[in-house]
Structure 1
Amino acid sequence: MSLQTSPILTSNPTDEAAIRRILQQMVDAWKRGDGAAYAAVFTEDADYIAFNGTHFKGHQEIASSHQQLFDTFLKGTYLKGDIKSMRFLSPEIALVHANYGIVDSWRTEVSLMRESIETFVALKRNGEWLFTAFHITRVQHRNWLQWVLYAIALRFSR
């Protein structure tokens, strides 16, 4: 018995543009410091996993947690990056990988400590695309010594 995989579906340009548009809306809302607008691109029951492992469930938690961040630690920051891949799993589901990072107000580029890889699951409901799942992970920049120390730490942490 062989394992069958379903083919990767190709999208139409309208769907790709719609997903790019909601991602841009999210980026624009971040720059304005608008938690409600930031969360507006997510479904009411979305799962949002932050870089530190915090799990926000639903549109309201995403909005309120981000507004608190925009008013304090992330005040004046903005996002910079782009989509790396977009794959349609069905006509109503897309998997999106992106690289975005937080740029502080006094900088023009993302600092190495704030580079991230994001995974989005976009869902089309009633003709509208929204994100229903999001996970962000910080990019790890380690030199050879840091990798050795990391490996040692992992070995002794088991």
Structure 2
Amino acid sequence: MRDRQADAWFREDGRAFAATFTREADVVTFNGDHLRTREGIATGMQYYFDTYIDHTRLHTLDEHVRFAGPDRAVIVRTGCQLVPPSTTCRPDSLSRNTNVMVRQHGRWLQDSFQNTRVVALPPTT
């Protein structure tokens, strides 16, 4: 699932990105936007790809998986967006996300995803 999501991100394909989620999933983005349902995630992510995210790659620094049952897991992951040709994360691009995963029809999908900046934005004056 993580590789499918990273590939969809790199191709800037909102629909393929959303396909890694359940039909009724929730996503809270890096900016705090709340996208609801697979269709809402596809539309919202395509807007971000078309407007703000340009030719970046997702990079995972660490990942911790905890199983809450045979068909449910919680993943806490730290990573960033890499702007090629960079191979290291900039401090302002670091984020930590929490994923609630469910297995449906033998396939793991995200049911809830919340992404948070590691380094807070500076206060506005």
| Cα shift readout 1:67-111 (whole Å, capped 9, x = no counterpart) | 111122101111111442101101110000111211123533221
Which of structures 1 and 2 has the larger relative contact order (alpha carbons within 8 angstroms, sep 6+)?
A: 2
Runs (4 or more) in structure 1 with deviation over 6 Å come to: none
TM-score of the two chains, using structure 2 as the length reference: 0.89
Select the structure of larger CA radius of gyration.
1
Q: Which has the higher strand share?
A: 2
Mapped to 2, the partners of 1:82 and 1:115 lie a distance apart of 9
Letter in 2 for 1:57: R
TM-score of the two chains, using structure 1 as the length reference: 0.72
The CA RMSD over aligned residues, in Å, is 1.9
Relative to structure 2, which stretch is displaced further, 35-44 or 80-89? 80-89
Deviation at 1:131, TM superposition (A): 0.4
Structure 1 pair 111–24 and aligned structure 2 pair: CA distance change class (3 A): same
- Give unpaired runs (5+ residues) of structure 2: none
Q: Which has the higher helix share?
A: 1
- Give unpaired runs (5+ residues) of structure 1: 1-21, 151-158
User: Percent of aligned positions with the same letter in both sequences?
Assistant: 33
The question of 1:137 aligning with 2:116 is answered yes
Q: Secondary structure at the match of 1:117?
A: strand
